[in-house]
A and B are shown apart, each in its own frame.
Chain A
């Protein structure tokens, strides 16, 4: 007798993950795109067991240093853009290589090979994200926002904003306001 089966690899993988994580009593949440959020610290022994039992299904935990370094670059940039009251005055390349102890060239290569963008572009995206938040909060004028984010002028802020969103800051604000009105009605 011959059986014909069809199967959905992604569902199968999710079920395996659930079963194994539950068996080891690890608190988890399955996210999209091959990501799992672990809520508590997992003892090294349990982690090794998880790695081994998933390995039998050819499921590997990506634990490489490259991925970790990229995450550190992103975290450093986000911290720089959000938590400092003003962006550092040294060049960003110096700032990153000092903080992470790698040459900027090395960081830049690893980043652009794995994230579909460059460090420079990622910084611009993050700065525009912060500008969006500040525009919506309505506490600062565009001039004050451009000063806070280290832009030399409002014109320069607006042109980077336009580069990332395709919109002017004022059109962006109008869309957000109209959307809110629409959802509140």
Chain B
């Protein structure tokens, strides 16, 4: 990278332990310097986000189905708060219905990921998402019309 200080801050909220492990391994293979923080559910995530001292992430990956507070509720809550307007939100879902995808973007998501079934595909998808997000971040592109469905 151009500057060594550049560290991409990534958060993931997912209640499935295996999914969290796969995700961490995929992130570990990125060439981009990054710092990953994991949450087991939406409630823990939102507690972190609402802490004024917390470092805000550049990108947040949200599983849709989680106990206590699901991904869609987190998405709405985050988008209702101007403080988080620069945080890119990637929704992780098993659905590939066009209607679900459209609704998720309307609610304020930037990225919609249809959960891949195998690990090599997951690595590819995460890399593409992080790199696309980087273009928006580093080239000052308009985040309000940043939609990426993969």
Contact = CB atoms under 8 A, between A and B. Distances in A.
Nearest to A62: B3
A133 B4 CA distance: 34
A166 B108 contact: no
A74 to B, nearest CB: 6
Contacts of B31: 116
B5 A34 contact: yes
B94 interface: no
B2 A176 contact: no
A11 B1 CA distance: 21
Contacts of A166: 112, 147-150
Interface residues of A, number: 34
A167 B147 contact: yes
Nearest to A122: B135
B102 A175 contact: yes
Contacts of A33: 3, 5-8, 58, 137
Contacts of A6: none
B83 interface: no
B56 to A, nearest CB: 9
Contacts of B106: 175, 178-179, 182
A5 B141 CA distance: 40
A147 to B, nearest CB: 22
Interface string A161-173: 0001111000110
A165 B149 contact: yes
Contacts of A32: 58
A101 interface: no
B147 A172 contact: yes
Contacts of B32: 116
B139 interface: yes
Contact of A116 (B98, B131, B142): B131
B23 interface: no
Nearest to A9: B5
A55 to B, nearest CB: 14
Contacts of B139: 74, 122, 125
Interface of A: 10, 13, 32-35, 62, 64, 66-67, 70, 74, 114-117, 122, 125, 129, 132-133, 136, 164-167, 171-172, 174-176, 178-179, 182
13 contacts: A10-B55, A33-B58, A117-B135, A132-B142, A132-B145, A164-B132, A164-B148, A165-B147, A166-B147, A166-B150, A174-B102, A175-B102, A176-B145
